[in-house]
Amino acid sequence: MTCLAFLILFPFCIAALLYFMKTDSLIRTILVLIGAVSEMAATVLFAFTNMSDPAISQGIAYLDRTHEIDRVIAAGELLLMLLVFSQAVRFRKYYVMILSALGTLPILYMDFFGGAESTAMHIRIDELTVIMVLIVGIVGSLICIYATGYIKDYHIHHTEVKDRSGYFLAMLFVFLGAMMGLVTSDNLSWMYFFWEITSVCSFLLIGYSGTGEAVTNSFRALWMNLLGGLGFMIAILFCSTILRVSCISELQYFSTYPIMVMLPVSLLSFAALTKSAQMPFSSWLLGAMVAPTPTSALLHSATMVKAGVYLLIRLSPLMRASYAGIMVTAVGGFTFFAASLLAIGASDGKKVLAYSTVSNLGLITAAAGCGTHEAVWAGIMLLIFHAVTKSMMFMSVGVFENTTHSRDIEDMQGMIVRFPRLAFIMITGIFGMSLVPLGMCVAKWAALRAFVDSGCVYLTMFLCFGSASTLFYWIKWLGKIFMVPKGCAREDDKVGLTGWVAMYPLSVTVIVLCTLYPMVSRFMVAPLLSVMFGVSDITLIGNSDFIIMGIMVVCICLLPLIMRMVNRPDDRQVSSYMSGFNTGDDMSFFDSTGDRKEQELSNWYMSDLFGEKKIFKPCVILSASFVIIMITLCTIGGLLI
């Protein structure tokens, strides 16, 4: 319990110290390193201690009577509301005040004057908790280390932005502490408190630069997540007053009576959909790109969006064959497919990564909504692989932007020669996200098998077509990195020590996870699913699957050899035709007016087919309509109890 208290409270203490360190200094860097390393060490100790306890399979519970802590949390909720009020008044976004008040005041009233008297434990630790703590503690801490060097370079290149780097680093650590509290809380009110902290932190980080676009995007993120928080609040009130339960684990007792939990589960699922940026709420995460890259890395990998899918996985046994499950699977599957198409039409590296995050979160969401142990196995493995890989990808794009002042994929041509070390990080991430039999592909394979076994045709179609689109945009990106134009030479990548300290361990972790995922499944995921679903056989990837994946790997490896055989060295080489007279260097030509022009090779982004202007708005309208219909049906069902 002491270790857990350290994991939650220590980041807040480090944040308080960083907030008052206004300027960059060696002392501040050392403080960040001490804070990050200490949090990682405590995370490993926490995982080792709890995983060695046989009782973890049934969940290890703490804290039954917590009146003093409840009062502190109530005060924290009030402070959060007042903070939102102050920002809303400052920028004249008064609708945000209404959403914040509607979500907070009923909870405060319940805390002080009503609701079920909770005798259940407020903290609960199981294998899923350990997995989430490891992701937040290790990946999140490495991002904080990376941020110390990045934010210094950021202000060198963005002199128009006021330097509030101490405040920025403090918010990153607040995020870590809030996520630690969220994933270890079993009490719904406690979880809601930490849930709201992450919403406010994301708002503050997205609006860091203070530009008009940043402010607009930050308030979009805030109101969408406050809307989800409103659903969370109503679910808490329903559970407390009607079901007389206060903890999420207590909802499991109603698994044989799905009608009893239809309304709270649907509302909690709605909150999770907003937090995980599923359509129609994807725009807030896409707008977060205006923030400095460590914000994107943290939001997309270790915090914020992972809170949503974490909650859905917790609720998964209750969603099988229910309206809530139908809503979650349909929205998740559709988001996976639609976001993968939208990523094809983007050339901005951070935007591609953002759409990729939304897409993969959609697949995790769909897996959780299925409510079967096979699908949840795939969802948890996707969550692990995505967290590690996506954080590393965002870091590498951020370094490239600071080095070249561009994050366009087209400008990454020849990276394998220009920035070989940075290219290694990026290639490792792309391989982990897209190639068989590495990380994400294994989990997608398991998801496909689970969807087929469940008889859900539309999910199977979403996965097949979405995976094809996903592979398409990753391979385009990979091709740019390996395409070396004539005269390409090595350049200085300008990555500081803290950048390599963060990125190299993550790249090694990707490789290790791709190799040792059977052990992760056996010792962490399988025992969890045995308790959640009451099953003993958790084997999803059999020998026949490995044989098929092995054949695919062999085919991929044979492709370059075949191309080499076709393109023999003694073949006659000719100059390229470039709409004019070739100058002889295959890099430029003379046009019809005699002017010399440089050639430019570019990917086809199909923006006229899959661009944001073409399909984003229809996708939002379609998904919003479906969510409204399903929430209405769940509400009617819940009120008929």
pLDDT digits (tens, 9 = 90+) for 553-585: 565 556 556 655 554 555 555 666 666 667 766
Q: Give the model's pLDDT for residue 491.
A: 80
Q: How many CA atoms lie within 13 A of 320 on its CB side?
A: 19
- List, in sequence order, the alpha helices (H) in 405-496: 415-418, 420-434, 439-454, 457-482
Tell me the two tokens of residue 168. Answer: 């920025």
CA distance 198 to 309: 14
Tell me the two tokens of residue 187. Answer: 């009490």
Q: Which long-range contacts (CB under 8 A, 24 or more apart) does 108-117 make?
A: 108/74, 108/77, 108/78, 110/189, 110/236, 110/237, 110/240, 111/70, 111/73, 111/74, 111/189, 112/74, 114/240, 114/241, 115/237, 115/240, 115/241, 115/246, 116/239, 116/240, 116/241, 116/244, 116/245, 116/246
Tell me the two tokens of residue 583. Answer: 């100058």
Phi, psi for 335 (deg, rounded to 5): -65, -40
CA distance 462 to 476: 21
Find the Cα–Cα–Cα–Cα dihedral 249, 40, 48, 307, rounded to 10°: 20
CA distance 359 to 379: 13
The DSSP annotation for 571-631 comes to SPP-PPP-SSEE-SSSSEEE-TTS-EEE--------HHHHSHHHHHHHHHHHHHHHHHHHH
92: region left, alpha or beta (phi > 0 left; psi from -120 to 50 alpha): left
304: region left, alpha or beta (phi > 0 left; psi from -120 to 50 alpha): left
Residue with tokens 């350990």: 130
CA distance 411 to 347: 10
Spell 198-227 as b/e; 16+ CB within 10 A means b. Answer: bbbbbbbbbbbbeeeebbbbbbbbbbbbbb
Q: How many CA atoms lie within 13 A of 61 on its CB side?
A: 14
CA distance 194 to 139: 19
Residue with tokens 């009110």: 189
- Across the chain, which distance is largest between two alpha carbons, in Å? 87
Predicted confidence (pLDDT) per residue in 605-620, tens digit: 777 777 788 888 898 8
560 Cβ contact list (under 8 Å, min separation 6): none
Neighbours of 461 (CB within 10 A): 13
Q: What does DSSP assign to residue 252? A: G
Low-confidence ranges of the chain (pLDDT < 70): 114-119, 254-258, 435-439, 486-487, 537-581, 584-586, 637-641
Predicted confidence (pLDDT) per residue in 380-389, tens digit: 988 998 888 8
Q: Give the model's pLDDT for residue 549.
A: 57
Contact criterion met (CB below 8 Å) for 342 and 215:
no
Query: What number of residues does the chain have?
Result: 641
Q: Give the model's pLDDT for residue 571.
A: 52
